[in-house]
A and B are shown apart, each in its own frame.
Chain A
Amino acid sequence: MTKLAYYPGCTLKTTAKNFDDSTVASAKALGIELVEPERWNCCGTVHALAKDDVMHHLAPVRNMLRVQEMNSEGQVDSKEMITLCAMCYNTLKRSNQTFNEDSDKKQKIQDIMFKEEATYSGSVEVKHFLETLKEMGWDKVKEAVKTPLTGLKVAPYYGCLLLRPRGIGIDDTDNPRIIEDLFEALGAEVVNFAYKQKCCGSYNTVHMKEVVGDLAHKILKQAKDGGADILATACPLCEYNLGPRQEQVKVQYPSFDSIPVVYFTQLMSLAFGLGDEAMAFEANRPDPRPLLREKGLLEE
């Protein structure tokens, strides 16, 4: 087992527990033990874009220091910090970049963190789990498959923060392949659709759910028109805006038919045969289980 430091973030421990469970289980099936730092804090969810903002880099940097400590104590085998939530990934990766490229900010952050036992050196590498899979090789993923997702038409949905801004994304900004490659390895049929990188409305879901209803409708309809049975995502906010927010979509577009939206790791758990606890489909809205039973991928 390779031991890697794993930063789940707040949402994977609360409303997206199914993302956490399915990730830990499917990583294990591939010989990776994801080890959480003993204490971690919220990353802040969004990168501090204003150039004079130093304070908001502290939360991400503090988490990276925890991973550096885990590495120096021998708890993990590398200086990688594995993330799943697209917002965490983006925020941590960008703060790490700022820390390493802006010596003035680096000094300020280190000065403020004077009470920490160790000093963060900037050496932790923030990664998304999808990148770990790609590096491991799609053949290795394929070897772990027990139930190929034959006949399941999956639309990969990247959203914004896995791909943008340029230089931060986990794959080519304009023509990503990474989720497509994963689902081909899992035996599914990949549906290409135009809005896979389109924003779902993000945090506007809190106070402008009608706007998110419009955007979700556009994205979901595109995927359905392309023949998709199901959408797979890597962001708990995308999952919420495209999943549970379908109730709002139906209010605005009464003829809309629902379509399940799941985390890519849930479908990995299904393909790897890891059982109900790992898949945790009961937490998804709309419920993906009737579709997966109909496709012969889940038992009655």
Chain B
Amino acid sequence: MSSFRSTSVLRLHPENKVFNERIKELSGEEIDLCFQCGACSSGCPMTQEMDYLPSKIIRMTQLGLDEALDSGTIWVCTTCFNCEVSCPRGIDVANVMESLRQLVLRKKYDRVSLDELTPEELRELPPIAIISNQRKLTG
């Protein structure tokens, strides 16, 4: 009976378990609670730009599949928290996306570069756009 109440009912291969635990630790989210209802994906404004739906990313992290790190999805998430308010299991999907991005960014990876912007764009863009873009997408 107790195993049903536990949040770790999935029996994973040790190497998958490491990744699963790392994401839980970094995001602070009980990802094992997800039962794939898809509410996060249905409300997400960016799904048309994603290779995997947010609910699928959560499934990959549940199973400890580090392929999630190669997904384009984690880079187009706008952290709008629509998923957070939709999840019936109380998972903040945006936190999971952030932890996946962080694992890549902390290996000195930059997804974007300011060198690609023209001087006009740099002048015209609001400072909060540039700073948040760099905060989210550069290591």
**Residues in A lying within 8 Å of B, measured CB to CB:** 9-11, 14-16, 42, 44-46, 49-53, 56, 85, 87-88, 160-161, 164-166, 173-174, 197-199, 201-208, 211, 214-215, 236-237, 240, 244
Q: How far is the CA of A201 from the CA of B76 in the complex (A)?
A: 9
Q: Per-residue CB proximity of B84-96 to A under 8 Å, as 1/0?
A: 1100000010110
* Contacts A45-B131, A206-B117; A50 near B45 (Cβ below 8 A): no
Residues from chain B with Cβ under 8 Å of A174 in the complex: 85
Judge if B119 is at the interface, Cβ distance under 8 Å.
no
Residues from chain A with Cβ under 8 Å of B12 in the complex: none
Q: Is the CB of A51 within 8 A of B25?
A: yes
Chain B residue total in the interface (Cβ 8 A): 39
Q: Is the CB of A206 within 8 A of B26?
A: no
Q: How far is the CA of A165 from the CA of B98 in the complex (A)?
A: 15
Q: How far is the CA of A14 from the CA of B80 in the complex (A)?
A: 24
**Residues in B lying within 8 Å of A, measured CB to CB:** 25-28, 45-46, 48-49, 76, 78-82, 84-85, 92, 94-95, 98-99, 102, 112, 116-117, 121, 124-133, 135-137
- What 4 A-B pairs come out closest when comparing CB atoms? A199-B80, A164-B81, A49-B98, A203-B133
Q: Is the CB of B45 within 8 A of A206?
A: no
| Chain A interface, >50% SS class | loop
Give the one of B98, B129, B131 with max A CB within 10 A.
B129
Q: Is the CB of B136 within 8 A of A165?
A: no
Residues from chain A with Cβ under 8 Å of B27 in the complex: 49-51
Q: Is the CB of A240 within 8 A of B78?
A: no
Q: Is the CB of B92 within 8 A of A52?
A: no
Q: Is the CB of B127 within 8 A of A202?
A: no
Q: A11-B126, A42-B131, A211-B76 are in contact. List 19 more A-B contacts (CB 8 A).
A: A11-B128, A42-B127, A45-B132, A46-B136, A49-B94, A50-B99, A88-B128, A164-B80, A164-B81, A164-B85, A165-B85, A199-B82, A205-B125, A206-B121, A206-B125, A207-B116, A215-B45, A237-B128, A240-B126
